[in-house]
Amino acid sequence: MKRFLYTLSIITAFLIYSCDKKDSPNPDNNNEWDTSAEAYLKDSTLYITKLVSLWQDYIIPANINDIADSVKVRNITKNQPTADSTLNYLIGLTPKDASGNPYDRFSFLDRQGVVNEEIQNARAISYGMYVFYLKTTESKQDNNNAHLYVRMVDLNSPSYQAGIRRGDRIISINGNTKFDYNTQNSQNFRGISDALGSEKMVIKWKKPSGEELEKTVISGQYSINPILTSWIKDIDNKKVGYFAFSSFLSIINNQNQPTNLQQSFQTLFTQFETEGIKHLIVDLRYNGGGSTFTAEYLANKIVPATANGKRMYYYKLNPFVEAELGDEFPPEDFNKSGSLELTKVYFLVTSSTASASELLINSLKPYMDVQVIGSENTYGKPVGFWGIPIGKKPSTADIFVTSFQTFNANNFGDYFNGLTPNKLTKEDFFKEFGDVNEGFIAEAIFHIKNGSYSTATRSAIAAKDLRRVNNTYNIKSVNSRASDIGMFKFSDNVIKLK
């Protein structure tokens, strides 16, 4: 840690010296040197990205020593209007995948500090409602359109308190009914984005039962509880445990004390151990990641005792980070916690399952029977970052540059295209988390009962439900938490390694 802080002090000293020089000439020799806060932030963005990016060799300037030259730095950043556009330009230089997209689609600036607030302190300010466009039999008859539905609601959130639940269809917001896919797509979804970013809205919605409700909902701060639901059941004389988990919030707070999440997990896994479950279903379908500490904690709870002391995962870093900060990234080994001894673990996933979720799955695969069930590959983010504060008021931010990649004990970590499910099946968007008749959960239970997956798209559900699900199609998810799609590594209590 001392070495990390020493390196950070060098970074900070450079930024103060080279990015805020009032007597430096302007690179184009036409105007005075730009001393604005945003110019400082742009230069800092380039400096940090070149220094710590996993794809350092692709980031300009080619010679890393040139980032110590403020004029050369400004020659690169001067044509970018903001620090955000500067970062987008730099990550666009990283290697491209088969689709022509840069591998680094993850680095970002957090100007409001919401990421640390969510993951470290489990607090959010929003409606706590996550929506998406779903094409159904009804919407197909409406000019092949798609309607707006709720895919998840945070416990304790304003939307949850109002009675809004997964599977509800949004009919209108503030009297406006034009939130269908075709209308919003033509507006680049500005209408729904503005509504979800507002402080108050009158929302009318219809439940799957057909009941319509209307309430005024006020956006506000709430404590996030990412364990959405859990149960223990006897299924064909087999003890099965289940829990749905929406975010890898930290199990340690800023004071290095256990959080409410850690205490909740301790209670939950004690129940699993007391009941002697042998099969565990972990629902990560919308879990975009979070703290690696939490992933390690769950891995140590789930892994068999035979893996104790063996490699969980290790890091790949760029040469600078390896040389200067390598002590902060030691290989992680299993330290089995609790007495749970599972026969199998099932993970339920979608393309929204990312980062720390994928780290957990990938780390367990070398040591136990891991079954993955979902509608598609996971997101594909085997990389992570930490937060470095940059800028000066009024333009300050935490910058998160993709800086490390993780590999499991089998040296596998190149899953930028996602982890592939053992069984592809349909999700039932109209059933709550934990419902044994929901598509993903039903398939896991089918496998527990029979030792193999069903040949049908769905299993153990009524024919009318099967028809309904097969006629639904997720078109687009609109919003998510600010901390989603992130693998955040926190080191002690000072530097936020995300």
pLDDT, tens digit, for every residue of 135-192?
887 766 667 789 999 999 999 999 999 999 999 999 999 999 999 999 999 999 999 9
Express as a percent the part of the chain with pLDDT over 90: 68
Contact 217, 257 (CB under 8 A): no
Query: Would you say residue 375 lies in a domain?
Result: yes
Burial code of 429-449, b = ≥16 C-beta within 10 A, e = fewer?
A: bbbebbebebbbbbbbbbbbe
Mean pLDDT (the chain, rounded): 86
Query: Would you say residue 331 lies in a domain?
Result: yes
Residue 319 belongs to what H/E stretch? helix 319-325
Residues 341, 434: one domain? yes
Residues 210, 235: one domain? no
For 213-233, how does the pLDDT look when each residue is reduced to its tens digit (9 = 90+)?
999 999 999 988 999 999 999
More confident residue, 54 or 97: 54
Query: Would you say residue 475 lies in a domain?
Result: no
Residues 133, 267: one domain? no
Please tell me the pTM assigned to this model.
0.87
Residues 285, 218: one domain? no
Residues 193, 277: one domain? no
Q: What is the pLDDT of residue 312?
A: 98
Query: Would you say residue 369 lies in a domain?
Result: yes
pLDDT over threshold 60, residue 12: no
pLDDT over threshold 50, residue 14: no
Which CATH number goes with the domain that contains 352?
3.90.226.10
Cβ contacts of 336-340, under 8 Å, gap ≥ 24: 336/300, 336/303, 336/304, 336/305, 336/307, 336/308, 337/297, 337/300, 337/301, 338/269, 338/270, 338/273, 338/301, 339/273, 340/269, 340/272, 340/273, 340/277, 340/280, 340/301, 340/302
pLDDT over threshold 90, residue 263: yes
More confident residue, 471 or 143: 143
Query: Would you say residue 131 lies in a domain?
Result: yes
For helices 260-275 and 292-302, angle between their N-to-C axes, nearest 10 degrees: 10
For 39-61, how does the pLDDT look when each residue is reduced to its tens digit (9 = 90+)?
999 999 999 999 999 999 999 99
Helix, coil or strand: residue 355:
coil
Contact 158, 218 (CB under 8 A): yes
Rounded to 5 degrees, φ, ψ at 282 are -110, 115
Residues 359, 266: one domain? yes
Last residue of a domain, one of 163, 189, 222: 222
Query: Would you say residue 472 lies in a domain?
Result: no
Q: HSE (CB half, 13 Å, CA atoms) of 52?
A: 27
Residues 229, 214: one domain? no
Query: Would you say residue 152 lies in a domain?
Result: yes
Residues 265, 200: one domain? no
Average pLDDT (24-52) is 81
CA distance 388 to 495: 7
- Alpha-helical runs (H) found in 67-171: 70-77, 83-91, 114-121, 137-140, 158-162
When pLDDT is cut at 50, 70 and 90, the band that residue 9 belongs to is: very low
Last residue of a domain, one of 222, 244, 270: 222
Which of 195-204, 369-378, 401-410, 465-474 shows the lowest mean pLDDT across its residues?
Answer: 465-474
Residues 298, 438: one domain? yes
Which CATH number goes with the domain that contains 180?
2.30.42.10
Q: What is the pLDDT of residue 121?
A: 66
Average pLDDT (70-87) is 95
Query: Would you say residue 449 lies in a domain?
Result: yes
Residues 228, 252: one domain? yes
Q: What is the pLDDT of residue 119?
A: 61
Average pLDDT (474-488) is 54
Residues 44, 188: one domain? no
Looking at the DSSP bridge assignments, the partners of residue 385 are 488
Domain boundaries, position 282:
224-460+482-496
Q: Please enumerate in sequence order all residues whose Cβ is within 8 A of that of 63, keeping only pairs 6 or more positions apart, or say none.
A: none
Q: What is the CA radius of gyration of the chain?
A: 24
Rounded to 5 degrees, φ, ψ at 85 are -70, -30
